[in-house]
Amino acid sequence: MAWMYALLALGTVAAVLVILYRPLGDYMAWVYTSRKDWKVERGIYKVIGVDPKTGQTWQAYLRSVLALSAIGLLLVYGLQRLQQWLPYSFGLGAPSEHLSFNTAASFVGNTNWQSYSPELTVGYTVQFAGLAVQNFVSAAVGIAVAIALVRGFAYRRSGTIGNFWVDLIRGTLRILLPIAVVGAIVLMIGGVIQNFNGFTPVTTLTGATQTIPGGPVASQEAIKLLGTNGGGFFNANSSHPFENPTAWTNIFEILLMLVIPFSLPRVFGRIVGDNRQGYAILSVMAILFAASFSILTALESTGMGTAPELAGGAMEGKEQRFGIIGSTLFATTSTGTSTGAVNSMHDSYTALGGMMPMLNMMLGEVTPGGVGSGIYAILILAVIAVFISGLLIGRTPEYLGKKIGPREIKLAALYILLMPTLVLTGTALSFAIPGVREGVERTSIWNPGIHGMSEVLYAFTSAANNNGSAFAGLTANTPWLNTALGLAILLGRFVPIVFVLALAGSLAAQDKVPPTSGTLPTHRPMFIGLLTAVTILVTALTFFPVLALGPLAEGLM
């Protein structure tokens, strides 16, 4: 019976995504290739002094990304530090310097890691003027960088890869904003709250007094999911009934997370002029997603241990209204898309079950990944797969008519190596530095031993991959973790963007090489299988030794 529900849930989500794949993908491709600007867009260009007809080199594109993100970082940090003087602060004081830095880095980096209880820490002005704005901007930045890389494959002998400001504004106004408005309305219909009420005291059935927070939740919920951001308005995130009231809103929120990432392969195919290439990338994403969901569901449904076996499954930390299937599908989606939202507590999953969300992130979040970041991550892996195949057959590797030479493969290799370096270094330093280790073990870790190590590993995996979810058994609001995780977020977001844009510039400068009899077809099942294998071998197996010290060791005890 459980597997029938799992297939129905997965089939429902897949059916909607299949219906939306072509129209949404074609629309997004038009957004980034159209030569016509809307009137409101032309007004914005005049205000910021941008010529929309002028392309940018990859270096100029990168400078624009970094400049905008630096301004956003300062604004979000400043709003938090000035919170007590802002309207709708409800008497909440300013977060500490290290917490404000962590939160600013998190939301600018499309991570939305939260080392605090939102309803007790940040007021509504910070929520909608700082955090919600960055939910739009950081998502639009991710899509813009992905489109720049796709142009690198499509352009010939070009010194430019597009205009960042045009890509940013179009992505925000034409894609994210209208879908988020519709999503917010649907969520309000489903029972998600949207108000500016403060804290409302109520009397419980036992006669005690309880304070119920309100807030503009539906509007922020829609963009947090659509933009694969993930920060919750409440500490319980999408397990809170004000954020996710029913089983059908749960499915709708899953669709919001998946709809853009699973449509971007269509955009890729349209812009490079071969829709088959998009279907190949989509197939790899879908295969890995379905496999992860199936394994996680099996582990949680037949959880090892006395309590799970008596209960018929591991229900600790899961909402009754969603059950195991609704929880595992949400967890697979959020950790596979760099969203970080949760409707169940991953820390309460079985040992091996808790490893699966971690593995989704360790894959580089390409199942299907975040908005923009998922498609450019898997295209980097495709470059590596083509390079490996070229070595096997003794030919110069080519992908979509572009030669993959030493410069291209170095950039791809640096991209792949960065994330494991950040994760393993951050985890190691947390236990290797004597003073830091004492604080982590005494203050941060609630579950000492193997599981505690897994909590820290999960935190750095989440930060370096710009996911934002947590095992939830870790107290991260400490100077060390706020600072270290904040740095991991910034480095994990923007250093890969440097490599992606440099690769885009290198590819755009090339002419296209006509295919020959020795050219590897990159739209057929053989390449789909090769790319799937490369994704698993190059990314996930890098972490096997540390997983053997954490969730694998715990699960096999």
The pair of three-digit structure tokens given for residue 164, joined into one six-digit string: 């960042």
CB 127, CB 215: distance < 8 Å: yes
- Residue 309 pLDDT > 70, yes or no? no
- Residue 441 pLDDT > 80, yes or no? yes
- Residue 201 pLDDT > 80, yes or no? yes
pLDDT at 463: 96
Q: 34 φ, ψ to 5°?
A: -65, 145
With bands split at pLDDT 50, 70 and 90, how would you rate the model's confidence at 305? low
Q: Residue 2 domain-assigned?
A: no
- Residue 290 pLDDT > 80, yes or no? yes
Scored b (16 or more CB within 10 A) or e, 412-448 reads bbbbbebbbebbbebbeebeeeeebeebbeeebbeee
Q: DSSP label at 174?
A: I
Q: Residue 378 domain-assigned?
A: yes
- More confident position, 351 or 12: 12
- Residue 310 pLDDT > 70, yes or no? no
- Residue 19 pLDDT > 80, yes or no? yes
pLDDT at 311: 60
pLDDT at 175: 98
Q: 7 to each of 13, 101, 186, 247, 282, how far by Cα in Å?
A: 10, 42, 25, 16, 20
Q: Residue 417 domain-assigned?
A: yes
pLDDT at 306: 56
With bands split at pLDDT 50, 70 and 90, how would you rate the model's confidence at 304? low
Q: Residue 434 domain-assigned?
A: yes
Per residue, the 3-state secondary structure of 108-173, as one string, reads HCCCCCCCCCHHHHCCHHHHHHHHHHHHHHHHHHHHHHHHHHHHHHHCCCCCCCCCHHHHHHHHHH
Mean pLDDT of 442-466: 92
pLDDT digits (tens, 9 = 90+) for 77-93: 999 999 999 998 988 89
In single-letter form, the type of residue at position 97 comes to E
Q: Residue 207 domain-assigned?
A: no
pLDDT at 24: 98
- More confident position, 169 or 120: 169
**Rounded distance, CA 531 to CA 459, Å?**
28
Cβ neighbours for 121, distance < 8 A, ≥ 6 positions apart: 92, 95, 99
- What share of the chain has pLDDT > 90, as a percent? 78
- Average pLDDT of the chain? 93
Q: For residue 101, which of 515, 485, 551 has the smallest C-alpha distance?
A: 485
Q: How many distinct helices (H) and strands (E) make up the chain?
A: 23, 4
**Rounded distance, CA 170 to CA 165, Å?**
8
Q: DSSP label at 318?
A: B
Domain of 520 in residue numbering reads as: 372-556
Q: Residue 552 domain-assigned?
A: yes
Torsion sign (Cα): 387, 392, 397, 401: negative
pLDDT digits (tens, 9 = 90+) for 226-267: 999 988 889 889 999 999 999 999 999 999 999 999 999 999
Q: For residue 101, which of 378, 490, 439 has the smallest C-alpha distance?
A: 490
Cα torsion through 319, 324, 329, 332, rounded to 10: 90
**Rounded distance, CA 196 to CA 355, Å?**
39
**Rounded distance, CA 93 to CA 81, Å?**
8
Q: Residue 172 domain-assigned?
A: no
- Residue 466 pLDDT > 90, yes or no? yes
Q: 210 φ, ψ to 5°?
A: -130, 145
Q: Residue 549 domain-assigned?
A: yes
Q: Which residues pair with 399 in a beta bridge?
A: 402
The number of distinct structural domains making up the chain is 1
Helices (H), 303-447: 306-311, 323-336, 351-362, 373-393, 406-432, 434-439
pLDDT digits (tens, 9 = 90+) for 344-403: 999 889 889 999 999 999 998 899 999 999 999 999 999 999 999 888 877 778 999 999
- Residue 276 pLDDT > 60, yes or no? yes
CB 513, CB 398: distance < 8 Å: yes
- More confident position, 311 or 170: 170
pLDDT digits (tens, 9 = 90+) for 45-88: 999 999 999 999 999 999 999 999 999 999 999 999 999 999 98
pLDDT at 447: 82
pLDDT at 252: 98
